[in-house]
Chain A
Amino acid sequence: MITYEQYQQLCDVLYREAELLDRREFRAWLELLDPELRYVMPVRVTPGSSDASSFSPAGRFFDETRSSLEMRVARLETGFAFAEEPPARTRRLVGNIRAERQEGAHYRVGSNLLLWVAYGDAAEALVLAAHREDEWVAEGEAWRLRRRAIYPDWTTLPLRNLTLFF
């Protein structure tokens, strides 16, 4: 169980995180990440039987640490990460937030993410959908993301590349 106030705080941190990413304030976003972070997005498939998982046991689109995410941010800052020059415009909608308290100050938080993305002057934009399973840790007033598993709703990624954070 968690209190309504704790739930409110967790919603707030997820919304703030989405806002930082949409504004491309990546350094501020990195501040939300615990040094022990594990950040994973499995590859999804259409499996052969309905009782088999549709998430690949070993295939990943991301398998990151805080340090490797920092490297991705540093690459975007070089000005030569041409995939994001000019940068994508994104809008993240976070919803269906479900939270429960685990041991101590650890909280399990599930959420859905709709990520609207548009590049350059292309008329079409894409919406990418995913479910996220997080672990957040309360550190005094601050919240740190310790774990995130991103479960995408695509098998074939409809984008040319994946230089976005989820």
Chain B
Amino acid sequence: MATNPDLTELLGSVHANLERGLLPAEVFADPAIYEEEMERIFQRAWVFLAHDSEIPEPGDFVRRRIGEDSFIVARDEARRVRVFFNACRHRGVPICESDRGRATHFRCQYHGWTFRNDGRLVGAPAWAKAYRGLNREEWGLLEADQVAEVHGLWFACLDPTAPSLDEWLGDMRWYLDLVFGAFPEGWEVWGDPHRWVIRCNWKIPAENFGTDDYHLLWLHRSNEQIGYFQVPLEYNMEGYHVQAGNGHGLSFSIAPTPDDPGPHYWGYPEELVAMIQRNPRLSPAQQDLANRSRVAVGTVFPNWSFLALPLSPDPKTSEPVGYMTIRIWQPAGPTATEAWSWVLVPRGSSEGYRQTAYRAAMATFSPGGSFEADDVKPWEGVTATAKSRFWLRRGRFYNYQMGLSEDMSSARLVSDWPGPGVVYSPRYEENQQRGFYRRWLELMQR
């Protein structure tokens, strides 16, 4: 439990109101909440760091963050992936300032302590005179307590007592097997990630990708006007929201039947669809969902999201093509988020597909993308209001009541969904977004 009485009261108020579909605005701007998140969530959660293909060879590394701390994700000479805190063990100076690279060693700029890419301290200037008696074994780089991978997606966790990644993912694992396990040979990242700064709280984009489909009806209508949507927006809402446990959730736009016109298999081109159909690791239920999927979008708690859907780089001149993008919503203070976004392409896909898929992703979901450029602005608005004294005194709560009861919306619990989790359809409901905060509260109050 939090030791700060104001914070305890605040969390109590979240608890008292969440099941009524009300979320106090402090959750998005209060510095004490943010500090507590850095402790109770980011020191305990499995956090996404990198894709395997970013560090294919021994010595490859990328620099990433957990909470606000800098970590190096490196493949050592024995090919093992390790996650080091980016600080020299002597006086803590960061030992890596590059975004990516290949190195057998990391040398500190201050006094020159040198660490191998398996973390071992191997030397320092004038070692015999300065450190004859120092035990090198004790002064290697600090490593994340747990590191694990699913479908090439590397996660780390700073809590040695935390459950395994599989357990943490819960029912989401089945959906990652569907969405990321669709291609038997896996994925590669295409290019370096986009990074940009949004003046919003990190949870807002996480919950947006974690089943806020309702905003499509209004916010993204410019895209409808320039010919981006293959399926009319109202019809598109006839999809499913999946609560996949532990705060994770995803949303499907999906064809009602395998022979429905419109996109199938997330709009991937034929040669890629054939790879999915031949994939023996997908169960019949997963094959059925893959077939009918137009869009899959979701968030793995706390701050990692994915989106697979068909869009075009330029609707006038080319057909939509399925692509996959993944994101980190990197906390950068209570009211700032650094977005990181990658495009993944299936291994074995053609050069032509990769070029088109990347251009489509960049034209739609990137800082300059026709969808995402509009998403970020209201996220800043939600955050700005959370700082208002007047709002806190008079309104205070954000509304999360869609689908709170059967009287409220047309959404209904689905009983014949082929996958795990708690599932609602159509997508006029916010159960999963409430579920995100339920999980958040559980960790914040533990």
Give the interface of A toward B (CB within 8 A). Answer: 43, 45-49, 52, 56-63, 65, 67-68, 70-72, 74-75, 78-83, 155-163
Contact = CB atoms under 8 A, between A and B. Distances in A.
Given A43-B194, A61-B362, A74-B226, A161 B373 contact: yes
B107 interface: no
A156 B196 contact: yes
A46 B99 contact: yes
Given A43-B191, A71-B316, A159 B99 contact: no
A47 B367 CA distance: 22
User: Which of A67, A72, A81, A156 has the most B CB atoms < 10 Å from its CB?
Assistant: A156
Nearest to A164: B368
B363 to A, nearest CB: 6
B224 to A, nearest CB: 9
Given A62-B368, A67-B316, A81 B103 contact: no
Nearest to B366: A61
22 contacts: A43-B191, A43-B194, A45-B192, A47-B99, A48-B101, A48-B103, A58-B190, A58-B358, A59-B194, A61-B362, A65-B317, A67-B316, A67-B317, A68-B313, A68-B359, A75-B223, A80-B225, A83-B376, A160-B199, A160-B367, A162-B367, A162-B373
Interface residues of B, number: 45
A75 B380 contact: no
A78 B224 CA distance: 10
Contacts of A43: 191-194
Contacts of A74: 226
Interface in B85-133: 97-103
A68 B360 CA distance: 10
B338 interface: yes
B196 A47 contact: no
Interface in B360-409: 362-363, 366-368, 370, 372-374, 376-378, 380
B222 A156 contact: no
Given A83-B374, A160-B380, A56 B197 contact: no
B109 to A, nearest CB: 14
Contacts of A67: 314, 316-317
A150 B362 CA distance: 16
A32 to B, nearest CB: 19
Given A74-B226, A162-B196, 6 more contacts: A46-B99, A60-B358, A70-B316, A71-B226, A82-B219, A160-B199
Given A59-B194, A61-B367, A160-B197, A155 B222 contact: no
Nearest to B194: A43
B195 interface: yes
A63 B191 CA distance: 13
A48 B226 contact: no
Contacts of B101: 47-49, 52
A71 B192 CA distance: 25
A70 B317 CA distance: 11
B102 A75 contact: no
Contacts of A52: 101
